[in-house]
Every structure is written in structure tokens, then in C-alpha cells.
Amino acid sequence: MIPLTLTATLRSPMHLGATNTAGNFLASLSYLPGRSLLGAVAWAWIDAGGDPGAPEFAHRFVSGAVSWGDLHPVPVKEETGAAVDGEPLVVPRTIKVCKLSGLRHGLVDVLLTTPPPEACPLCGVGLDRLEGVLVGDHDGRWLSPELHRQHRAHVSIAFDTGTARSGDLYSRDVLEEGQVFRGQIHCSDEPTAKAILDELPRLRLAVGGARSRGFGQIEVQVKRATASTLEVLREQSERVAQSPADVWYFTLTAVSPWCVRETDGSHARSLTPRRLARVLGVEEANARIVRGDARSESRSGWDGAAGLPTELRHVIVAGSTFLCAVRGLDGPTLQARLLRLSGRGIGEHRAEGLGRVAVNHPLHFISAEANRDE
């Protein structure tokens, strides 16, 4: 797996349809899904003269050799207004913050602590789950991005007359231009990685809805993931704990939605010992989910090429996290398999960025003191 870091800057407002739309209000997602990015790049590649029937097209966009990850918002520096350099990290569902002071009182993880804390260790106020993403800065602090949104009012147009449709007023939730989003593309081979590095910044990309109105124009920059990013993957896979009974403990976190099929064809609602054993190559009796926090939901979308809705998928949402235990493997073998899992992912539709896995997510190991205001 060859990771590339993609940074996208909005050059016009962007609307990405969300499922919580109600009435005449069209809500927008707060991130750019990998599926939308994949579709935008594929269409731009065709518009630039690429042949959709060529093997190269299938290799990049269909085969799974390239995984187009979600792009998440990046916070800006207070001094300059420029985007910070770090990679956005999806926050595990077991990370909580003080209800009163938020990040100023640091992060509290309730997955690895027994019994789990119920109040802020600094002030005693209750805890709230922290959702979204965090980005680390050079000072070792974790920053939460702030999205800038607008509500744009529109009138529907009757296509038969070309005039406003009577009584059909609606508003659209849009993300303001100028904001920066970042994520990773995973390539299976070096030639594909080189081609994406060379070609992607030159493509004219448009993402989301209302593109005919000029919405969704993005400018992208692609670079190889830093050596530190690769080292973190390796260190996280090695950061496992062994008990006297030769049981290895580690955490797995969904950093993008997981679409996992059970043996009967249904969608899994959570990570099961059977699936854990399968991805690590051990007997089911040697794999255990100690505890975790997971949520699942149904999702659908629109296939622009087919002009049809996509299949209804039931996914394990990003941020779901699990404390796992495995026996029957030596340390180096387990570390190698966890590293492979973090690169390949889990479940279906990995070309669209689904199935991304973080092994021993760093936020599990940060104490409340690490992020506290002095």
C-alpha cells in the first residue's frame, strides 16, 4: 500500500447531500466522501480524453487497486489563517471531553480505562462524546476544525416552461468556498501512484450537487504521505500489549464506514469475533472482542453514471472502536498482520474509501494532561 495525501481547497461553495434532509431544507455533509471523490475524478479523467473502456480506467476506479478515502476539514492557524499541516483523524466513539470546557480540559478515553471515568478529571463536570475529526499541530495539541456554512435560498424551475415553479421554494446548506479538506488515497502499486501524482492536480474537478450553478469546484494537491505517517502505521501495529496468558490486546477503529457482509449475506452491525479471526487468520476461538462502542446506519446514494440510486447499505459508522484480544500468534506475526490490515482495510467497497482501519488509534493513549490549557 502506497499512501498519498490529497488536499482539496474549495474554489466555490459545495453541497454534498445528507440523509437527514427534511421538508424544503437540503442538508449537507460536513466532509467529502471517498465515493464522491472517486466519481468526480473518474468523470474528469473521461472529460480529459480518457477511455472508460480501457483497462487503466478499471484499474484506477473499479478494481480496488486504488482506494479513494474521505476528505475531512482541516483547522486553520489563528495567526495566519492558513490550514495546519496535519492529517485529520476520525475521533473514536470512546473519546470524551468535559461538558463545560471541551477540549480545553483535554481528552478522556473510556475504552482502555476500567472502570470508565464518568466525569472530567480536572473539574468533576460530566463528559460528552467528542465527534468528528481532530488534527494535531506542531505543538502536540489537538485541534478541532470549524466549518463555515451558508443557507442559500432557491426557487425550483419548471423545465417545461423555464420559469419559476409556483410555491416551490427551498434552501440549500452549503460549505463556503476557501475551506480546506484533506485525506488519503491508497495505491496498490508504484506506477499507479506516480500517475495519480502527475495527473490528478491537472484535472478540473467538481463535486456534489448544483454543479450546473457553479457549485463544488475544487483544487487539489497530491503528495506522498510523509515518512512519519508510514512510521505511525508501523508503530501503531506494533503497539500491542501481551498478558501473562499469551493473549495480545489491541484496538481497531473504523476511520471510515465499514460495509461488512455476514455469511448469510446480511450486513454486519458490529465487528464480530468471527470477522476478527478471519481478517487476522486465526481460529475463531482465539479471537475475542473485549468491549467496544459501535453504531450502524443505513446509507444510499446516487449513481451518476447509471442514473439510478445505489444499493441500500448498512454500514458500521466511522468512529466505531473495539478492544480486541487474540491468542495463538507470536508478536512479529501479529504485528505484520495488523500492519497489512491497516493498509488493506476491511469489508466491501474499499475503492470508495470504505473499510479504513486504525490499529491502536493514538487518541486512545493520550491522557487528559496532554491537551489541557495551561
Kindly state the average pLDDT of the residues 173-179. 89
CA distances from 57 to 46, 51, 65, 175, 303 (A): 9, 7, 11, 30, 17
Show which of 225, 241, 265 is a domain's final residue. Answer: 225
Give the torsion through C-alpha atoms of 35, 36, 41, 46, to 10 deg.
90
Is the same domain home to 199 and 76? yes
- Kind and range of the H or E run holding 55: helix 55-61
Residue 37 lies in a domain: yes
List pLDDT tens digits, range 319-361: 999 999 999 888 888 888 988 898 889 998 888 889 999 988 8
- Domain assignment present for residue 34? The answer is yes
CA distances from 35 to 21, 39, 181 (A): 19, 6, 15
Task: Tell me the C-alpha distance between 175 and 216, whole Å.
Answer: 9
Domain co-membership, 205 together with 233? no
Residue 194 shares a structural domain with residue 259: no
Per the domain annotation, does 289 fall within a domain?
yes
The domain of 298 spans 229-365
Cell matching residue 174: 452549503
Is residue 67 in some structural domain? yes
| DSSP category for residue 14 | B
CB atoms within 10 A of CB 263: 7
Pairing of strands 247-254, 241-242: antiparallel
Mean pLDDT computed over 91-102: 91
Within-domain flag for 104: no
Report the number of distinct structural domains present in the chain: 2
Give the integer Cα–Cα distance in Å for 216 and 16: 9
Where is pLDDT greater, at 44 or 244? 44
Domain end among 192, 207, 225: 225
Q: What is the pLDDT of residue 194?
A: 93
Both 23 and 71 in a single domain? yes
CATH of residue 211: 3.30.70
* Among candidate residues 177, 204, 225, the one where a domain is terminated: 225
Q: 158: which 3 cell numbers?
A: 419548471
Q: Are residues 201 and 341 in the same domain?
A: no
Is 153 part of any domain? no
CA dist 108 and 127 (Å) reads 8
pLDDT above 70 for 21 = no
282 lies in the same domain as 352 = yes
Tell me the pTM. Answer: 0.84
| CATH code of 296's domain | 3.30.70.1900
Task: Examine the domain organization and report whether 192 and 234 are in the same domain.
Answer: no
Shared domain for 333 and 207, answered yes or no, is no
Residues 6 or more apart in contact with residue 359 via CB below 8 angstroms = 233, 236, 237, 239, 250, 251, 252, 338, 339, 341, 342
- Half-sphere exposure (CA, 13 Å, Cβ side) for 109? 22
Same-domain pairing of 221 and 237: no
Q: How far is CA 36 from the centre of its chain?
A: 13
CB 272, CB 284: distance < 8 Å: no
Asked if 323 and 184 sit in the same domain, the reply is no
Q: For residue 147, tell me if it sits in a domain.
A: no
